[in-house]
Amino acid sequence: MNTPTQKSTAVVALGGNALLRRGDAPSFTNQLANIKIAAKAIAEIAKEYQVAIVHGNGPQVGLLALQNLAYDKVQPYPLDVLGAESEGMIGYMLAQELQNLMPETEVTSLLTRIEVDPNDPSMLDPTKFVGPVYNEEEAGILAEANNWTMKRDGEFVRRVVPSPKPLNILDKKSIETLLNAGEIVICCGGGGIPVRKTDYGFTGVEGVIDKDLSATLLAKQLKADKLLILTDADAVYLDWGTENQRALRATTPSQLSEYHFPAGSMGPKVEAAADFAQFGGRAYIGALEEGLDVLAEKAGTCVSA
């Protein structure tokens, strides 16, 4: 997976909720403060690994969608365009903060298109949370006014949108070229921009790809050594939220298949980690602040075959 003279390659998946924490006002100031924390953690990882960063965009793209509705003299922009907007915004902020911390290292943020199946089952059964959280009354009003689908996210309610599975990273060669040049690469942001193949090339798809599944696809296509999924939980837990909750520290894809994890939160992370472990790599799930310890298997959850 890596030559003797190269650092090991790690794909780092950074949750959108880590960049705009649950309950935070969705302001630039709050997001920048969280991005500074994320950049500091990733900079430590980048000292020991060649890093490709995949970030989420659920809160951000949902906010853009709300802002999109405020100006009603034009049709709202589709989700793939809003995803590209959020990818550019977050990528710029992350790149700048990483470069400030590591001035001798080149950092590039790359808008990334990812092919999906327009007939993916999720197009009819949305599961991807976007935007802020609401109470029941607020959610009902917004759902009726905008024809949105809403689902429960913990004690709150949020909008959900289609989340087709990623099939192919169209910009993989550019990512490889940048990594081989020794750069930190921010790519597949928000899971990447969903596009579908037509007789005339590619066109956008109305959806938001899950960033953990895109990170796994990237790790497999790059033949990376490790996949690190950073989240607001310090590990994968069984019986989460009960007095019997317990952390899984080392597990396998077959063991994980025996349990159920929520589709809107830990489910895609577990699926992504198990998929990469079956591919032959080592996958990790843990807290942002413990990134290096998670990779060293001193914290978090390690998934291996």
Q: Is the per-residue pLDDT at 171 higher than 70?
A: yes
pLDDT computed for residue 4 by the predictor? 39
Instruction: Please give the residue that has the higher pLDDT: either 221 or 132.
Output: 221
DSSP 185-240: EE-SGGG-EEEEEETTEEEE-SS---HHHHHHHHHHHHT-SEEEEEESSSSEEEST
Percent of all residues in the chain with a pLDDT value above 70, rounded to a whole number: 97
CA distance 35 to 135: 27
CATH hierarchy code of domain 9-70+87-109+167-192+208-303: 3.40.1160.10
pLDDT tens digits for range 65-123: 888 888 888 888 989 999 999 999 999 999 999 999 999 999 999 999 999 999 999 99
Residue range 244-267: average pLDDT? Answer: 86
* Two tokens, residue 256: 């994980």
Q: Is the per-residue pLDDT at 253 higher than 70?
A: yes
Q: Is the per-residue pLDDT at 1 higher than 80?
A: no
Instruction: Please give the residue that has the higher pLDDT: either 230 or 155.
Output: 230
Point out which residues pair with 296 in neighbouring strands.
none
Q: What is the dihedral of CA 296, 225, 176, 286, to 10 degrees?
A: -40
**Which residues are catalytic, by number?**
16-17, 128, 211, 269
Q: CA end-to-end span of the chain, whole Å?
A: 17
Asked whether 194 and 164 are in contact (CB, 8 A), the reply is yes
**What type of residue sits at position 265?**
S
